[in-house]
Structure 1
Amino acid sequence: MTVYKAAEEPRRTAPTPDPSDRSRSRRAPGIPKTIWAMVLPAFLLFFFFHTVPVLTGIFYSFTNFAGYGEWRFVGFSNYVNLFRDERVFSAYRFTFWFALVSTVLVNVIALAIAVGLNARIKLKTTFRAVFFLPHVLAILIVGYVFNYMFANSLPTIAERMGITALSASILANEDLAWVGVVILAVWQAAAFNIILYLAGLQTVPSEVYEAANLDGASSWQQFLRITFPLIGAFFTINMVLSLKNFLQVFDHIVALTNGGPGTATESISLLIYRGGLQGGEYAYQTANAVVYLIAIVVLSLIQFRILQRREASF
């Protein structure tokens, strides 16, 4: 009997790793050239059209540059004079008061409309388009329409109804002109806030409301204990963006009052525009813009931190 032995296969040995390959594997992969090609143009555009003007403005805020002609360094004198200028203080008082009132009103109104729209009204998609319409309209055009309403239509209607307090244009009244600006700003800004709140309400699971109904919770209790805490992030975003946008109010005032009567509705942005580009105070108003920028950033950060803590407390 012949016994056949299987031929032994040669033993395969693992190749000795190359130290250069090991070091190459430790290195993080490089950024693809495609990403550089996409990011670099955007970065350059942002740098030259945003960062460079900001740095140039900060530089000129330490000079007496009038926007033309020669200039020289004056140090911090522009910043010191800002705190002695009553017109600047008046503009800041009006702007912050306007931003505070408008921010509260627009979020209350937008949240109420969004909750009602999400809970009871059919054809939600159609109504979303209707409510979002004011956001896509040009502020100046809408502002001139509101100007005509406040100056002509409303006084005529009030006179026929015997309401003497509104028989004259509120835009010509130093004590009431800001109300017209608030109405226009809130009407236009509520559109964007409504859409954000509607998006937040879509994230709340319906099972939570069903459980609350079984426990006998009222609609108001469901809003306070379920809806509002669960859309806290959207409330934070709306509050921060609203305050920031209202602090930069410009078009609404130009269309309605142009800062009048007198300087009763003159915002900081309008003051910077008038003094810097029309009044030969380029360096002075640039310093005002720098202070204004710092104020907006600080207020936004403080507001963001406070609202985030409120979210965590729920």
Structure 2
Amino acid sequence: MLEENKKKIKILSPSANVVDEQEGDELIRKAQKILSNNFLQVEYSKNFKGKNTFLSGTAEERARDLMDAFLDEKVGAIISSQGGDNSNDLLDLLNYEIIAKNRKPFFGLSDITVLLNVIALKSKMTTYHGLDFLWGLGKNATEYTEKILNFLLKDGKLNIFKNPNTPEWKVINPGYGEGTFLGGCLASFCLLLGTKYDPLELVNSPYLLILEDIGESKSIIKSKLTQIKQHKKFHLCKGIILGSFAFCEQKPKENEVHIEELAREVYGNSDIPIARIEEIGHCVENIIIPIGGKGRLECKKNVMLCFL
């Protein structure tokens, strides 16, 4: 729960720059209004919009913006503006011990998956997948998002509320599992595998994976799902949740293959529960998932997901 003197929400861009155009400005106005209507003060980082052709700043500038946000005692939460491709630039430049001593809610998705997982595990704190400033608040937010955000920031609790405007949750493979939430954008998560920031190595305990992506071919998706299965710590995986795969479902010559079928093909011989929850990922209004937090996934006749 945010303390009375920590109602400032820091908005920063750890990866891509925010394009200064009419649509971007409109999204900023809408997102800021949502936070302001909830009596939260919005403050933008020095490199929020950026000056680079595709990045908000140098790696050092972006890392400093993030560290400054954690160190600012008046900041109650940090929200990434959007994703990109280059969050991994920051990993060697962050001080995880300082972050651990100044922990506060940190939100993002897409390429911010990289930071959410590494900070959660190296700083031993919970980060939050499913909300960013431009798209999560500025583009896709309804009363549903505001309700979840209010519960988290004002009451200090994170609950799951099924969005009535989204597809029903699907059971892909039956089973039951508990563990630490990891994952996010499939492509971004796989960037970390095999590095010194490998989440599956850092967690070294039972985990639940959330996986989503945007604009990838099904052949690439299958390749990355297989990469995860071949990881030496895959035996600790106790469940997989497939989210939205925006603009991945209708690639030419592949329309007959669905994401669920790819998951069954790759993981079909395992006894772990696998679910499809399309309220996670790009281009949708998201459930907020606590990366580094504990959860339970049960797939029987229906899907049951809860935070522990």
Instruction: Give the number of the structure whose alpha-carbon radius of gyration is greater.
Output: 1
Query: Per residue, is there more helix in 1 or in 2?
Result: 1
User: What TM-score, normalized by structure 2, do the two folds share?
Assistant: 0.26
How high is the TM-score relative to the length of structure 1? 0.25
Whose RCO is larger (CA < 8 A, sep 6+)?
A: 1
